[in-house]
Chains A and B, each alone.
Chain A
């Protein structure tokens, strides 16, 4: 038995992502539907123009959480009782750009569930008592989060990467005292009642059921995207945040970069993968697997509507913080000065291709892939562009990108511990 020779690796032949069927909503928005689900699992996402960069962060987040806090006809308890009775689950996710209200349930119950959920969103009353209760628990969660070095580092990082943009705006404990019902109601009117942008349906629904979903949304308006005043300048610097008694230090390093609309995005993503984007990355190898300074370290590119940012993130033993930063710098400089081997590039190429295949496995994942390109004005052919680019990228190109975008002097470095 020859165990020393690896089995032959077969290249991935094709990447197949089914495009969803597209419909128009009465308000001009879009509904996308993927029906290839084997069983009765059904998930519907309602996507609103209600992200946290649209207003004060806290107003946006609290409005999202108050969506099911009661209507004119149903109390919060009654609303949740009626959703639960149908075996339904709801989830509200607020990102910088949008609010996604998801409804999960079995197909047999999905139509009545949607009616309840849409009514709950549209007719939300935001009663004072509900607001007060929510603020009390959010304040407590905020205080708990502020005990974590990872939270402290992330806040300091974002506020310095985006000093002149809502993305960098920080919430403080005092902000909770300023919350006013009128502000919440205004936000709800502008960004929910007039803000339904898209619906994504994954489930084995028939035409009649899809028509029902479309009709059920006709009360919701859709105003045009409201751009926010902002600029994207930042000052590279090193900042330390003190947390007494912490046994680990959280480190965040990064800069403003770009999103997938930029011509360098796909190739930069290869560079990022090599540096810190997977378990076998250089940062993981050096700082975890060789030195044992951390449980984990990674890097990535976060994409926003008109920009993006690059970040490295880790938590290390307090005594290793400076050695870790030096090791990160040395890994970056190595990528700027030495060409990656064709072997390593080949490995990363195959790894990314495998990831693409895995991340597009099954209808739920395929809808996510579709939405993430649609958001940036692209279609599914983007994924084939990635495959083409992966085959073309060279060690020289990786080195050039590292030189252009990862200069140590251009980076913000945060330590919290």
Chain B
């Protein structure tokens, strides 16, 4: 059980506080309710570019990292399709340094041309390092626009075309900041060995004078129900073929999200999963196979991905995948198998709550999707799932008409 307090400043900033008496460290986690899904289709990659710019100096403080490091702290950030999250880990004595820095960059950035120019170049190198110069690295750049036709999940956080980053102007950057970076669009979570009154005083001191702005209304084009199997084969200079199947599934807050998550575990999490046992160990058709979900807030994807064994074609494998799916649709799983899967989820959840950083990010993320206390209710949601619900969801989600398939064919052999 993770205890927390919650309060809101008049400017709209939502604040969570988690007291942890066991740690000498403090975490300041700031989640902004903006992700790649909020981008203009002709200006993609902005949320992520912005994450870089947030380290390029704020209105009163030329350098973000230096003062934090001088106080013994460190920081990082990540951008997803749904949100942008920044965190600072700092010795508890120096909590105020992190609040000074974070509040100043919420107030306003320095917006220097130099910072934009350099970070643009850094992001282009990141694009090359992670997406172009790795075998299979561009897979999501190909897969997303196939699976999604309307929803902005059709592009990756890096952007759908690197020219969008190359052409970003200072005006656009400023507009983005004013729209999304302000107290009402953020969740601040502080963790450490403090008293609530101390945290309230410090947060009020540093954040209360930041002007509140109108919180942007989100009205994203939702993805229509998929009405048919989609497939595509591309060729790449990689050592072996690879296949990716994506099935549309309910979003993070929808009713059957957790059941579909369990379905992916039954299919392909670990060495006692159905796909692994049948396709890899028994039939020797694949060298690797996995199933997992993306955890998206809106309509998401359950993925099955793998690589065929030497001398096996991807076409030979697919009927066996569908055979396993058919079994899940036709027959409820045993209580025993369900218990096994839920036991693994329980262990995972307990370990994911070790340390104040994961707790702080988890609380913020749950607050964003409705209620920070959701973090304490996750395990119970999995425990309530029945074999019948799993069977129904297998029928709903694991339908061929609901599936997108990408095959990567190797043009060379090593």
* A interface residues, Cβ below 8 angstroms from B: 1, 3-4, 6-7, 9-13, 16, 36, 38-41, 68, 76-77, 80-81, 83-89, 104-106, 109, 133, 136-137, 139-141, 143-144, 146-149, 173, 245-248, 278-280, 288-295, 315-317, 346-348, 350-351, 353-355, 357-358, 361-362, 364-365
CB distance from A114 to the nearest CB of B (A): 15
Given contacts A247-B128, A280-B65, whether A148 and B25 have CB atoms under 8 Å apart is: no
B369 at the interface (CB under 8 A from A): no
State the CA gap A36–B89 with chains docked (Å). Answer: 22
The 22 listed contacts between A and B (C-beta, < 8 Å) are A4-B60, A6-B100, A9-B71, A76-B271, A77-B272, A84-B343, A84-B344, A133-B280, A140-B307, A144-B239, A148-B135, A149-B133, A248-B129, A279-B74, A280-B66, A291-B121, A294-B129, A295-B125, A317-B128, A353-B91, A357-B25, A357-B72
Given contacts A361-B24, A362-B23, whether A292 and B117 have CB atoms under 8 Å apart is: yes
Known: A41-B354, A106-B350. 15 other contacts (CB 8 A): A9-B71, A9-B94, A87-B344, A137-B309, A140-B288, A143-B414, A246-B133, A247-B128, A292-B118, A293-B121, A316-B125, A347-B69, A350-B70, A355-B72, A362-B354
State the CA gap A40–B351 with chains docked (Å). Answer: 9
Given contacts A3-B60, A280-B66, A346-B70, whether A10 and B125 have CB atoms under 8 Å apart is: no
Contact B122 A41 (CB under 8 A): no
* Residues on the B chain within 8 Å of A248, using CB: 125, 128-129, 132-133
B355 at the interface (CB under 8 A from A): yes
Using CB atoms, name the residue of chain A closest to B117. A292
State the CA gap A109–B132 with chains docked (Å). Answer: 44
B6 at the interface (CB under 8 A from A): no
* Residues on the A chain within 8 Å of B90, using CB: 354
Among the listed B61, B75, B271, which residue makes an inter-chain contact with A3, where contact means beta carbons less than 8 Å apart? B61
* Residues on the A chain within 8 Å of B42, using CB: none
CB distance from A16 to the nearest CB of B (A): 7
Using CB atoms, name the residue of chain A closest to B132. A247
Given contacts A9-B94, A144-B240, A278-B69, whether A87 and B100 have CB atoms under 8 Å apart is: no
* Residues on the A chain within 8 Å of B239, using CB: 140, 143-144, 146-147
State the CA gap A292–B70 with chains docked (Å). Answer: 24
Contact B307 A292 (CB under 8 A): no
Among the listed B271, B350, B414, which residue makes an inter-chain contact with A146, where contact means beta carbons less than 8 Å apart? B414
State the CA gap A76–B351 with chains docked (Å). Answer: 26
* Residues on the A chain within 8 Å of B336, using CB: 85
* Residues on the B chain within 8 Å of A362, using CB: 22-23, 354-355
Given contacts A9-B97, A146-B414, A362-B22, whether A354 and B73 have CB atoms under 8 Å apart is: yes
Among the listed A1, A85, A316, which residue makes an inter-chain contact with B340, where contact means beta carbons less than 8 Å apart? A85
* B interface residues, Cβ below 8 angstroms from A: 22-25, 59-61, 65-67, 69-75, 89-91, 93-94, 96-97, 100, 103-104, 107, 117-122, 124-126, 128-130, 132-136, 209, 237-240, 270-272, 277, 280-281, 284, 287-288, 307, 309-310, 336, 339-340, 343-344, 346-347, 350-351, 353-356, 414
Given contacts A9-B71, A280-B66, whether A292 and B122 have CB atoms under 8 Å apart is: yes
State the CA gap A361–B27 with chains docked (Å). Answer: 12
CB distance from B135 to the nearest CB of A (A): 4
Using CB atoms, name the residue of chain A closest to B346. A87
Contact B125 A351 (CB under 8 A): no
Using CB atoms, name the residue of chain B closest to A351. B69
Main secondary structure of the interface of A (DSSP, over half): mixed
Among the listed B96, B125, B350, which residue makes an inter-chain contact with A292, where contact means beta carbons less than 8 Å apart? B125
Contact A293 B69 (CB under 8 A): no
Contact A357 B133 (CB under 8 A): no
Given contacts A3-B61, A76-B271, whether A294 and B122 have CB atoms under 8 Å apart is: yes
Contact B238 A39 (CB under 8 A): no
For B71, B72, B90, B118, the residue with the greatest tally of chain A CB atoms inside 10 Å of its CB is B72
Given contacts A84-B270, A357-B91, whether A288 and B350 have CB atoms under 8 Å apart is: no
State the CA gap A16–B193 with chains docked (Å). Answer: 15
State the CA gap A397–B134 with chains docked (Å). Answer: 41
CB distance from B349 to the nearest CB of A (A): 10
Among the listed B122, B130, B281, which residue makes an inter-chain contact with A77, where contact means beta carbons less than 8 Å apart? B281
* Residues on the A chain within 8 Å of B60, using CB: 3-4
* Residues on the B chain within 8 Å of A292, using CB: 117-122, 125
Contact B271 A148 (CB under 8 A): no
CB distance from B94 to the nearest CB of A (A): 6
CB distance from A202 to the nearest CB of B (A): 10
Among the listed B96, B120, B347, which residue makes an inter-chain contact with A87, where contact means beta carbons less than 8 Å apart? B347
* Residues on the A chain within 8 Å of B309, using CB: 136-137
Contact A354 B71 (CB under 8 A): yes
State the CA gap A405–B210 with chains docked (Å). Answer: 50
Given contacts A147-B239, A288-B122, A317-B125, whether A76 and B287 have CB atoms under 8 Å apart is: no
Contact A358 B65 (CB under 8 A): no
State the CA gap A104–B117 with chains docked (Å). Answer: 46
Using CB atoms, name the residue of chain B closest to A81. B272
* Residues on the B chain within 8 Å of A280, using CB: 65-66, 69
State the CA gap A147–B355 with chains docked (Å). Answer: 36
Contact B287 A364 (CB under 8 A): no
CB distance from B380 to the nearest CB of A (A): 16
* Residues on the B chain within 8 Å of A13, using CB: 93
Contact A351 B72 (CB under 8 A): yes
Given contacts A294-B122, A364-B354, whether A353 and B135 have CB atoms under 8 Å apart is: no
State the CA gap A91–B133 with chains docked (Å). Answer: 29
CB distance from B104 to the nearest CB of A (A): 6
CB distance from B339 to the nearest CB of A (A): 7
Given contacts A77-B277, A245-B237, A292-B117, whether A140 and B287 have CB atoms under 8 Å apart is: yes
